[in-house]
Amino acid sequence: MTRRADTSVVLRRWRGPVLVFGPPFLFVLAFLVYPYLTVFENSFYRVADYVVVRDFNFDNFERAIGGELYRRVLYVSARIGVIVTLITLPLAYLLAYYAAFVARRWRHLLYFLVVTPLWTSFLLRVYVWKLILGRTGLVNNVLTSTGAVDEPLSFLIYNQFSVCLTLVYILLPFFFLPIYTSLEKIDPAYLEASADLGAPPLRTLIRVIVPLSMPGVITGAIFTFCLSFGDFVAPALVGGPGGLMVSNVIISQFGAAFDWPFGSALAVLVLIIVLAVIALGSLAEKKSAGAVA
């Protein structure tokens, strides 16, 4: 009788957590963990006559790492990710600083205007930039109509420049939001203490505000790099041959090439790179927090 009572108590104690956390856990397990494990498993197989053969080997990874073409695609993807992150950082920081400390009564309106583009389709926002940068787009129409150029500029689109410009515009809110959150949490007493000690605004910004906002900067940098590194819509629409990125190669392997194992191997490499960036960002955030403390 006592054992049954103890069992009933344990069931009642665990029933609440299971009902609350059970469905999300099952969802993540079914739609996140299982697909990743499937991709990881397929990366060790091969294709023969358009049929996936379950022959365990490392040929796909050797091909991805050893092939000059795929190394270059990974390098171009990482370079575009770094460039987009470095360009977006000052823009997002200045915008977040203005919203947090200068705009005051208009900060909520500015916040709304920055976040509003996220409500529209990602594909639509990329396609708008294709219309703006194209040979018959807004920029070339203005330049030709004013006589600044004799013929439309072709270098504005279908290259890495257009990919970076498009991604900077699209990913700016993802960098802005964590920085703004960090700046908004800064205690005004720190700024007042810095001013009372005679520090000018610029010195206060460098010695007080920037170190306290580093967690937001690191988080935004991780978001921006990972999203730009793995993007495939912008390279497909405005990149052209020069703006080809690793995600486009992965899609082609799962599509026209019908080489799912090799596409899975590339996807695993991308995942490893992203996880490494996240780990480095987490380490940098801990060091930053320790330095501030």
> Which amino acid appears at position 147 of this protein?
G
**For residue 144, what are the CA distances in angstroms to 139, 156, 158, 203, 280?**
9, 14, 20, 46, 47
Give me the residues of the chain with pLDDT under 50, please.
none
Q: What counts of helices (H) and strands (E) characterise the chain?
A: 15, 2
pLDDT of 261 = 94
Which is nearest to 118 in space by CA: 167, 79, 171, 155? Answer: 171
Assign 51 to helix, strand or coil: strand
- The class of domain 62-292 in CATH terms is mainly alpha
97: number of Cβ within 10 Å: 18
Three-state SS letters, 70-137: HHHHHHHHHHHHHHHHHHHHHHHHHHHHHHHHHCHHHHHHHHHHHHHHHHCCHHHHHHHHHHHHCCCC
Question: At 228, which amino acid appears?
Answer: S
pLDDT digits (tens, 9 = 90+) for 139-172: 989 988 888 888 888 888 899 999 999 999 999 9
What pLDDT, on a 0 to 100 scale, did the predictor assign at position 24? Answer: 87
Q: What is the pLDDT of residue 292?
A: 64
- Distance between CA atoms of residues 82 and 51, nearest Å: 38
The predicted structure's pLDDT at residue 7: 64
